[in-house]
């Protein structure tokens, strides 16, 4: 049974605590990466209704610092589904609790594979984008998938 991208939508909220920050009072990059992976895995799992494993993370660039005391919103949604894999788009936004200012701090695309109890890839439902934005993201994700496969083929040579 096919699913829409919105059925996999996840918004994870975190508060930046002192244990999450470096000596400058900004968050450790690894913490943000972990939160991204968790939100994306939840999204992929919602779509597949199966165990999912991270296969890849495209480049991750930190666009702005996330500071101690900020609230962080990690939004994730499946953009594309192939036979056993899915691309999940993630956007990270921080909010200054005192001013309400929102800042886009990073974005990433992750690929997940659905697996069965034995760890073997298992099919996922088709993704049917419904809105113009979902269609655009689906098409762009298909192009990224093609580039990823080409890159993997080049590396294997």
Give me the CATH number covering residue 129. 3.10.129.10
Regarding predicted confidence, which is higher, 31 or 151? 31
Split into its structural domains, the chain has a count of: 1
**Over the Cα atoms of the chain, what is R_g?**
17
Residues 35-92 have pLDDT tens digits of 999 999 999 999 999 999 999 999 899 999 999 999 999 999 999 999 999 999 999 9
Q: Give mean pLDDT, residues 113-127.
A: 98
Instruction: Tell me how far the alpha carbon of residue 99 is from its chain's centroid.
Output: 27
- Domain range for 128 is 5-156
- Reported as a pLDDT band with limits 50, 70 and 90, residue 156 is confident
pTM of this prediction?
Answer: 0.94
Cβ count within 10 A of residue 42: 16
Residues 5-51 have pLDDT tens digits of 999 999 999 999 999 999 999 999 999 999 999 999 999 999 999 99
């Amino acid at each position: 049974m096919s699913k829409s991208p919105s059925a996999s939508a996840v918004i994870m909220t975190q508060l930046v605590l002192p244990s999450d920050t470096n000596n400058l009072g900004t968050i450790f990059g690894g913490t943000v990466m972990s939160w991204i992976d968790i939100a994306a895995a939840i999204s992929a799992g919602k779509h597949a209704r199966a165990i999912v494993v991270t296969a890849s993370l495209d480049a991750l660039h930190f666009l702005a610092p996330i500071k101690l005391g900020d609230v962080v919103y990690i939004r994730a949604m499946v953009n594309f589904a192939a036979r056993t894999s899915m691309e999940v788009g993630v956007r990270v936004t921080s909010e200054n609790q005192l001013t309400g200012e929102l800042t886009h701090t990073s974005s990433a695309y992750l690929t997940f594979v659905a697996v069965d109890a034995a760890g073997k890839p298992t099919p996922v439902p088709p993704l049917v984008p419904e809105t113009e934005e979902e269609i655009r993201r689906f098409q762009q994700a298909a192009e990224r998938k093609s580039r990823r496969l080409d890159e993997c083929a080049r590396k294997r040579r």
